[in-house]
Amino acid sequence: MLGAEIAVRRPAGLASLAICNSPAAMPLWSEAADALRAQLPGEIRDALERHEADGTYDDPEYIAAAHEYDRRHVVRLPEMPQDYVDSVAQMEADPTVYHTMNGPNEFHVIGSLRDWTVVDRLDRIAVPTLVLAGEFDEAQPIVWRPFVERIPDVREAVVPDASHCTHLEKPEEFLGIIAGFLAENDRS
């Protein structure tokens, strides 16, 4: 999101842009999350809805239900990678920024970014751009399709059998795609 915001301003020296697992607009993100939530088992959906209505995001039932969403669309590995565990621990140690800007988790966006969009400015991006996502990513095609449709010089890559943490689930494939893109666009 930040990369797109910077790129639309066309800063000097920007040679290329890689947008990985990111939305072009938070309303699209919420729409995709709602569709993914609708695919969860009924008891999980009920727990999410009940606790969100009550604001009881720290209830163990809500945490367990949120974990099921994450298991399907954020990290699809049998064990959570240590990098992911560490990242979550850092956010939980001081959730002020994440909770203020996003909300309590990835799929219940109620923070200050809930209406953010860069869609109407994407045609200003004037550098080669890569848009990458995972097949089972919470960043569903609806959230990144505006990048592909509106940025003049763009290519897309969807990593099979990966979700939002493509870089942790399929690191060699992820790095290969990124390295290839950067090598094509190296202006040194």
Structural domains of the chain ordered from first start: 2-25+116-184 (3.40.50.1820), 30-101 (no CATH)
Section 37-53 average pLDDT? 97
Section 33-44 average pLDDT? 97
Local structure of 5: helix, strand or coil: helix
Confidence (pLDDT) at 188:
61
pLDDT tens profile 84-135? 999 999 999 999 999 999 999 888 999 999 999 999 999 999 999 999 999 9
Which H/E stretch holds residue 6? helix 2-7
Beta bridge partners of 182: none
How far apart are the C-alpha atoms of 44 and 72, rounded to whole Å?
13
- The residues, any chain, with a CB within 8 Å of residue 84's CB and separated by 6 or more, are 75, 165, 168
Contact 152, 124 (CB under 8 A): no
Residue type, 165: C
